[in-house]
Amino acid sequence: MIPYGRQDITQADIDAVVSVLRSDFLTQGPMVPRFERAVADHVGAAHAVAVNSATSALHIACLALGLGAGDWLWTTPTTFVASANCGLYCGAQVDFVDIDSRTYNMCPRALRAKLEVAAREGRLPKIVVPVHLCGQPCDMAAIHALAVEFGFKIIEDASHAIGGRYRGEYVGNCRHSDVTVFSFHPVKIVTTAEGGLATTNDADVARRMELFRSHGITRDPLQMTHAPDGPWYYQQVELGYNYRMTEIQAALGVSQMDRLDEYVAQRHALARRYDTLLASLPVITPWQHPDGYSGLHLYVIRVPSGGNGLSHAAVFEALRAGGIGVNLHYIPVHTQPYYQAMGFAPGDFPEAERYYEEAISLPMYATLTETEQDKVVETLANAVRH
């Protein structure tokens, strides 16, 4: 089976991990700060806070921005459930904004329309979470302008987008947001096995995310309610969690970051090749907005229903049967049973639902060979021309 995504582990990665295993610190040592610095410097952000997953990073970002009961968090329905669940973890309510039909990202026009209604009804969101689907940056200038006008905070879910750029600058520099979150799951662009990280330019938000990462405990006398009792002293000043990244993971991350730009360039070469090879097939290839340079975590095609070819589901099944590990990103979050029980229903976000009826993620990862890619295209061609 050719998977839709997979990690690339080199001898340098293995050496980096082994050297941590032989060192004094398996956790809470020097590698996590080094990884944080490597990512912050690469993307051009002032601060980075590494944690054990992007899900944890979304959670502590929401907490650091003050999300709580009575607040609203809005995101896109076309995302992994974690982009929405982080709001529920904080006791807030979650709502969605439909996607743009070309980029599949949160539509700024739909966002404005929904904000105008919410302003009249007195239920504006505290946080909006745009997701850079497939690695293609959202229209951040437009979303940021709405944040200024309507007074909400922005967390970019850039789980697909590390190494991508928006208007020439790396995703994660937070020029148009409060916090940006990355994922280092093995299917993503660079990996730490499990892992996530949040960048920000706000020192206070960074400090609060560090607190929530580790039990809400501080050893900094400036953050304590009174002078330390002694050198052993620490205080718990918030209710935090254990979301720490290990030294082993951070060492793998530091080593992988060396190859980030190379990985993204390889993904772009593969995407251009797919674009050419698929041009004559009755499928829609990904449209790229000129403002963005995608991280290209995913290469999603759409198989329009109707016509005389196989249905979307049949094409999907034919690919799987042919040894191509395709996937579907994503089932609209509002149609998940957990969200339907909160009152959402099919029909609420039609563009996201139409996308779901047609989307297929083809294999896309840095080490995918041209021979493998040819097999994907051939299997797809046979399926759609059936």
Ligand X SMILES: *Cc1c(COP(=O)(O)O)cnc(C)c1O
Question: Which of 193/310 has CB closer to ligand X?
Answer: 193
Q: How far is the CB of 90 from ligand X (least distance, A)?
A: 16
Question: Which of 315/362 has CB closer to ligand X?
Answer: 362
CA-closest candidate to residue 295, choices 160, 177, 130, 155: 160
Q: Which stretch binds ligand X (CB under 6 A): 74-82, 199-207, 248-256, 304-312?
A: 74-82
Q: How far is the CB of 49 from ligand X (least distance, A)?
A: 14
Question: Which of 85/379 has CB closer to ligand X?
Answer: 85
Q: Which stretch binds ligand X (CB under 6 A): 8-16, 52-60, 167-175, 304-312?
A: 52-60
- For ligand X, which residue of 75, 105, 180, 183 counts as binding (CB under 6 A)? 183
Is residue 192 within the footprint of ligand X (CB under 6 A)?
Answer: no
Q: How far is the CB of 96 from ligand X (least distance, A)?
A: 14
For residues 211 and 271, give the distance between their C-alpha atoms in angstroms, rounded to a whole number: 40
Quick one: how many helices (H) and strands (E) in the chain? Answer: 13, 16
- For ligand X, which residue of 73, 131, 301, 319 counts as binding (CB under 6 A)? 131
Backbone angles phi, psi at 75, to 5 degrees: -145, -170
Is residue 80 within the footprint of ligand X (CB under 6 A)?
Answer: yes
Is residue 55 within the footprint of ligand X (CB under 6 A)?
Answer: yes
- In single-letter form, the type of residue at position 362 comes to L
CA-closest candidate to residue 256, choices 166, 172, 183, 361: 183
Is residue 82 within the footprint of ligand X (CB under 6 A)?
Answer: yes
Question: Which of 197/278 has CB closer to ligand X?
Answer: 197
Q: How far is the CB of 257 from ligand X (least distance, A)?
A: 16
For residues 156 and 184, the answer to whether their CB atoms sit within 8 Å is no
For residues 48 and 76, give the distance between their C-alpha atoms in angstroms, rounded to a whole number: 24
Other Cβ atoms less than 10 A from the Cβ of 256: the count is 24
Other Cβ atoms less than 10 A from the Cβ of 386: the count is 11
Is residue 196 within the footprint of ligand X (CB under 6 A)?
Answer: yes
- Neighbouring-strand partners of residue 360: 301
Question: Which of 54/206 has CB closer to ligand X?
Answer: 54
Question: Which of 194/318 has CB closer to ligand X?
Answer: 194
Binding residues for ligand X, rule CB under 6 A, total: 14
Q: How far is the CB of 54 from ligand X (least distance, A)?
A: 3
Q: How far is the CB of 273 from ligand X (least distance, A)?
A: 24
Question: Which of 80/299 has CB closer to ligand X?
Answer: 80
Is residue 54 within the footprint of ligand X (CB under 6 A)?
Answer: yes
Lay out the site mask for ligand X across 11-50 (x = CB under 6 A, - = otherwise): ----------------------------------------
Q: Which stretch binds ligand X (CB under 6 A): 75-83, 284-292, 352-360, 377-385?
A: 75-83
Radius of gyration of the chain (CA): 21
Backbone angles phi, psi at 245, to 5 degrees: -85, 145
Our CA angle for 53, 100, 124, nearest 5°, is: 70
Q: Is 281 exposed, middle or buried (0-12, 13-18, 19+ CB in 10 A)?
A: middle
For residues 152 and 124, the answer to whether their CB atoms sit within 8 Å is yes
Task: Restricting to residues 146-165, name those near ligand X by CB under 6 A.
Answer: 157, 159-160
State the DSSP string of 67-121.
--TT-EEEE-SSS-THHHHHHHHTT-EEEE-PBPTTT-SBPHHHHHHHHHHHHHH
Q: How far is the CB of 198 from ligand X (least distance, A)?
A: 12
Question: Which of 74/377 has CB closer to ligand X?
Answer: 74
**Residue with structure tokens 């039909």?**
101
**Residue with structure tokens 């987008």?**
161
Calculate the CA 147 to chain-centre distance: 20
Q: How far is the CB of 182 from ligand X (least distance, A)?
A: 8
Is residue 103 within the footprint of ligand X (CB under 6 A)?
Answer: no
- For ligand X, which residue of 83, 136, 285, 373 counts as binding (CB under 6 A)? 83
Residues lying near ligand X in the complex (CB under 6 A) are found at 53-55, 79-80, 82-83, 131, 157, 159-160, 183, 185, 196
